Amino acid sequence: MSGEKGTKAESLKAYKNRLDDALGNEFLRKAMDNFAVAYRTSRENAFSGMDTAELIQTVADVKADAVIRNQELLAAFKQKAKENGIHVHLAETAEDANRIIAEIAKKTRCKSIVKSKSMTAEETHLNRWLENEGLEVTETDLGEWIVQLRKEGPSHMVMPAIHLSRYQVADLFSSVTGTEQDAEIQRLVKVARKELREKFVTADMGITGANYVIAETGTIGIATNEGNARLVSTLPRVHVALAGIDKLLPTIKEALAVNKVLPKNATGQAITSYVTWITGPSECKTVEGGKREMHLVFLDNGRSKIAKDPVFAQILQCVRCGACANVCPVYRMVGGHQLGYIYIGAIGLITTYFFHGREHAKNLVQNCTNCGACKSICAGGIDLPGLIKDVHAKIQDEEGHPLQSLLLGKVLKNRKLFHTLLRTAKLAQGPMTEKTKEGPFLRHLPMIFSPEHNFRRLPAIAEKPFRDRFEGLNKKVHAPAYRIALFSGCVQDFVYPEQLEAAMRGFQEANVAVTFPMGQSCCGLPAVSMGEKSAARDVALQNLDAFELKDVDYIVTLCASCASHLKHGAPKLLKNYAPDRAAAFADKVLSYSQFMSGVVGLDKKTGAGKAIAFHSPCHLCRGLDEREAPKDVIAKSGNTYVPTAEEETCCGFGGSFSANFPAVSNEILTQKLDDVEKSGAELLVTECPGCVMQLRGGAMKQGRDIEVAHLAEILYPQ
C-alpha cells in the first residue's frame, strides 16, 4: 500500500515508532476522539426502536449460511450472469485479479479508468498494477481520491481520509489544481466535484466493488453516499466489478437484510444515499449495440480455504462496515494506518495474516487489549478478539514462540513452580517496596522493564498470599445459605489479598460457606493473550481437576477477567478435551457482583456516603454482559454511584498488551483518568484486580487525586 510501509516485514521497533508518532499527532488524536464519541450516539440513534441484536444475528446467520453454500452460490451466479451477459472471471490470487483486469483494459483498448471505492481493490493493490501497465486510474470517492493523491492507503474502511485535516486537504488540492484553495470544507468538496467530472466523462472503463453479489438474479448491489458508483457504472463503456467470493448471497432478500444493518453500523446512517442494483450490462449509448461491456472478477485470495476452516470461517461473515475500528480503544489512539495493513481495525488484525501474510500481521496482531468492544458491535457477529488471539497463537506456532512467552507458558503450566517463583520474587523485592496508603508499591521497576513501562507504578507482591491466609479467615458456617468455591486468580491471590479478605467478611455475614481449592491455578487468560494456547488449555484442565463441583452451588471470583475467561474462554479451549466438564464448571461461574447482588441479595448499608465512579471492566460489561449488578452493589454499600463518560471503555491494561505497547496503554489510561476526574467522584471502584493495578498505578504515577478500590472493599471496609 503506502510506500513507507513497503512490502518487507516491519520490525516491532519500527512499528512502535510509528505508534509513537501517531500518539503525538494532535490532529489525529482529536479527530479520532471526536469520532469515537459521535459514532456511538449516531449508531444508537440509527438503531433506536429496533432489536439490534436480532438484526445482527440475522446478518450473521445469512452470511454464515452463504459461506457454507459459497460454491453452490458461485455456480448459480455464473449461470445467471451468463444469461444476463456478464463476463465472469475467477481470480485465484490478488495478482490474478489484477492481471485479469489489466487484460480486459487491453482487449477493450481502455486507457483511462475511473474507480469507485473498493476495499477488495485495495487488497489486491489494483491501482499500482494498472498504473504500472500505463493506465490512468482515478479514484472518485472523495476520501479515496484524497488518499490516492497523497499516495497512501485509506485509514478507515468507510472513511478513508479520516486522519487528514481540512488544511492538509486544502494544500493537496492547491497543488493538484495549481490554484490556492481555502481550507473551507464545502468549497473543497466543490473542487473535487469539478476536478472529477471531467474524469468521469472521459473515462473508458469504470471499476467498482460490490457490497452484494446476488446468485438468484445475477445482480450486484453497490452502496455509496456520493453517487460516484452510479457515474462510474454509467458513463464509461466498460464496467468491471471486483468482489470477493464472500460477497455472494442467495437472493436480494438476504442482501436487503444485510443492507439494513451495514450503514447503521458503519456511520449511523439508516441507509446510504444510493444503493444501486445492477443486473448485467445496462444501456450505454456510446457503444455499438447500445449496451456496455460488463465483467465481474471474483477474488478468492485464500477465501475458499478459509471457508473450510472450522475456526476462521467466520471471518467471511464480515460485511466491511468498519465498526470494529470505530469502537476500538487502540484504533482511537493510533489511527487506521497503525492498526491495519489494508483492512483496518479488529478484522484487519485478522485478515492481514490471511490476505497479506504473516510478516505484515505479526506486530499488528499483538496490538489489542482484548477488550471485546469490537465483538460487541460486529455486524457479522464475529468473535473478533478470539480470532485475533488465535492468529497470534498461529503465528507463534509457525515462527517459534518468543522466549518470554514460552517461559510464561511453561511457568503457568506448572502451578507449584509458578507460585514458588512468586514467593521468591516477593523476597527479592523486599528492599524495593514502599508502603503507601494505597498498599505496597515497587520503588523501581524490575530490570526487565524498560523506561517506557514507567507510566504506572507497579504494586509489590503481598507479604502473604491469600492462599496462606484462607484457613485463618474461614469461619465455619452452620446451615449455610449458599456454598461457594472461591476462585482467586493470580493477581488477587498474590498482590491484592486484601480484596479477597474484604469479600470473606461479607460471605460470613451472609452465611455463605466458602471453600478455596488449593490446586487452583491461573485462569489461563494471560497465556491466551500471549498466544500460548496450549499452556492456557493445560491450566484450564488443572482448574477442572481442582474444583469439586458437586459440593458447591457457585464458583465465585472477584476478578471479572477470570470470570469471563472461565465462563466463555476455557470451554472453547477444552472443546475437544473435556467439553462436558468444562460446561458444567462454566455454568457455576459468577462474578462477585453477580453473586452478591443477584444471588445473596444485599440490604442497604450505612456506608461512607461517597460519590463513586465505576470503571466497568471489559470482561464484565461485554464479557459477561453484566452492567447492573455492580451498580446495585455500590448503591447498597451506602455510597452514591455517579456516571462517568465512557464507563465501559477499556482502561488500557489488557494483560500483556500493556507490557508490549506501554505508550498506547498509557494514553488509553490517561483518557480514562480524565473522564473520572471530570465526573467529580471521590472514589473510583471496579471489579477486576488488573484494572485496579492499571488505574491505581496510573493515578499515582500521574499524581492524581484518585483513589481506586475493588467493589468488595467498599461493601465490607476494614
Using alpha carbons, select from 248, 353, 239, 373 the residue that is nearest to residue 299: 248
Name the helix (H) or strand (E) containing 132. Answer: helix 126-132
Task: Tell me how far, at minimum, the Cβ of 21 lies from other proteins, in Å.
Answer: 20
In angstroms, the CA 245 to CA 92 distance is 10
689 binds, among other proteins, ligand SF4, none (CB under 5 to 8 A by kind): none
369 binds, among ligand SF4, other proteins, none (CB under 5 to 8 A by kind): ligand SF4
Sequence-distant contacts of 468-475: CB under 8 A, at least 24 apart: 469/497, 469/501, 470/516, 473/501, 473/504, 474/504, 474/514, 474/516, 475/508
Looking at 222-230, 318-326, 471-479, 561-569, which segment touches ligand SF4 (CB under 6 A)? 318-326
**Which residues, numbered 243-282, are part of the site for other proteins (CB under 8 A)?**
251-253, 256-257, 259-260, 267, 270-282
371 lines the binding site for ligand SF4 (CB under 6 A): yes
229 and 121 Cβ atoms separated by less than 8 Å: no
Return the number of the residue (80 or 362) whose C-beta is nearest other proteins.
80
- Residue environment code for 28-37, b if the CB has 16+ CB neighbours within 10 A, otherwise e: bbebbeebbe
- Choice from 154, 221, 236, 372 touching ligand SF4 (CB under 6 A): 372
380 lines the binding site for ligand SF4 (CB under 6 A): yes
Phi-psi region of 206 (alpha: psi -120 to 50; beta: other; left: phi over 0): beta
Task: Tell me how far, at minimum, the Cβ of 644 lies from other proteins, in Å.
Answer: 25
319 lines the binding site for ligand SF4 (CB under 6 A): yes
Task: Tell me how far, at minimum, the Cβ of 270 lies from other proteins, in Å.
Answer: 5
373 binds, among other proteins, ligand SF4, none (CB under 5 to 8 A by kind): ligand SF4
328 lines the binding site for ligand SF4 (CB under 6 A): yes
Return the number of the residue (386 or 697) whose C-beta is nearest ligand SF4.
386
- Choice from 16, 199, 295, 320 touching ligand SF4 (CB under 6 A): 320
379 binds, among ligand SF4, other proteins, none (CB under 5 to 8 A by kind): ligand SF4
In the three-class reduction of DSSP (H, G, I as helix; E, B as strand; rest coil), residue 579 is classed as: helix
In the three-class reduction of DSSP (H, G, I as helix; E, B as strand; rest coil), residue 425 is classed as: helix
185 binds, among other proteins, ligand SF4, none (CB under 5 to 8 A by kind): other proteins
Task: Tell me how far, at minimum, the Cβ of 320 lies from ligand SF4, in Å.
Answer: 5
605 binds, among ligand SF4, other proteins, none (CB under 5 to 8 A by kind): none
36 binds, among ligand SF4, other proteins, none (CB under 5 to 8 A by kind): none
330 lines the binding site for ligand SF4 (CB under 6 A): yes
- Choice from 155, 370, 396, 557 touching ligand SF4 (CB under 6 A): 370
633 and 603 Cβ atoms separated by less than 8 Å: no
214 lines the binding site for ligand SF4 (CB under 6 A): no
**Which residues, numbered 17-36, are part of the site for other proteins (CB under 8 A)?**
31, 34-35
- Lookup: cell for 490: 493470580
Phi, psi of 623 (to 5 degrees): -60, -45
Return the number of the residue (322 or 459) whose C-beta is nearest ligand SF4.
322
In angstroms, the CA 593 to CA 632 distance is 8
Q: Please tell me the count of residues contacting other proteins according to CB under 8 A.
A: 74
CA distances from 493 to 556, 685, 687 (A): 14, 19, 15
**Which residues, numbered 154-213, are part of the site for other proteins (CB under 8 A)?**
159-162, 164-166, 169, 185-186, 188-189, 192-194, 196-198, 200-201
329 lines the binding site for ligand SF4 (CB under 6 A): yes
CA distances from 298 to 87, 92, 211, 240, 343 (A): 11, 8, 12, 11, 18
Question: Which residues on neighbouring strands pair with residue 238, listed in sequence order?
Answer: 205, 293
In angstroms, the CA 428 to CA 372 distance is 36
85 binds, among ligand SF4, other proteins, none (CB under 5 to 8 A by kind): other proteins
CA distances from 312 to 71, 100, 118, 374 (A): 17, 28, 23, 16
Site string for ligand SF4, 384-403 (x = CB under 6 A): xx------------------
**Which residues, numbered 500-559, are part of the site for ligand SF4 (CB under 6 A)?**
none
In angstroms, the CA 199 to CA 486 distance is 69
188 binds, among ligand SF4, other proteins, none (CB under 5 to 8 A by kind): other proteins
Using alpha carbons, select from 503, 475, 500 the residue that is nearest to residue 488: 500
Looking at 221-229, 305-313, 364-372, 425-433, which segment touches other proteins (CB under 8 A)? 221-229
Phi, psi of 340 (to 5 degrees): 170, 160
Looking at 231-239, 297-305, 542-550, 606-614, which segment touches other proteins (CB under 8 A)? 231-239
Task: Tell me how far, at minimum, the Cβ of 668 lies from ligand SF4, in Å.
Answer: 9
**Which residues, numbered 71-110, are part of the site for other proteins (CB under 8 A)?**
83-85
CA distances from 28 to 4, 59, 145, 153 (A): 18, 32, 19, 16
- Lookup: cell for 397: 506456532
159 binds, among other proteins, ligand SF4, none (CB under 5 to 8 A by kind): other proteins
Using alpha carbons, select from 159, 650, 55 the residue that is nearest to residue 381: 55
328 binds, among other proteins, ligand SF4, none (CB under 5 to 8 A by kind): ligand SF4
Task: Tell me how far, at minimum, the Cβ of 206 lies from ligand SF4, in Å.
Answer: 25
The residue whose grid cell reads 470477493 is: 244
- Choice from 124, 228, 351, 679 touching other proteins (CB under 8 A): 228
Task: Tell me how far, at minimum, the Cβ of 379 lies from ligand SF4, in Å.
Answer: 4
Task: Tell me how far, at minimum, the Cβ of 267 lies from ligand SF4, in Å.
Answer: 12
**Residues near 534 by beta carbon (within 8 Å), at least 6 away in sequence:** 409
Q: Please tell me the count of residues contacting ligand SF4 according to CB under 6 A.
A: 27
**Residues near 307 by beta carbon (within 8 Å), at least 6 away in sequence:** 67, 68, 70, 246, 313, 316
Residues forming contacts to ligand SF4 in the complex (CB under 6 A) are 318-324, 327-330, 345-347, 368-374, 378-380, 382, 384-385
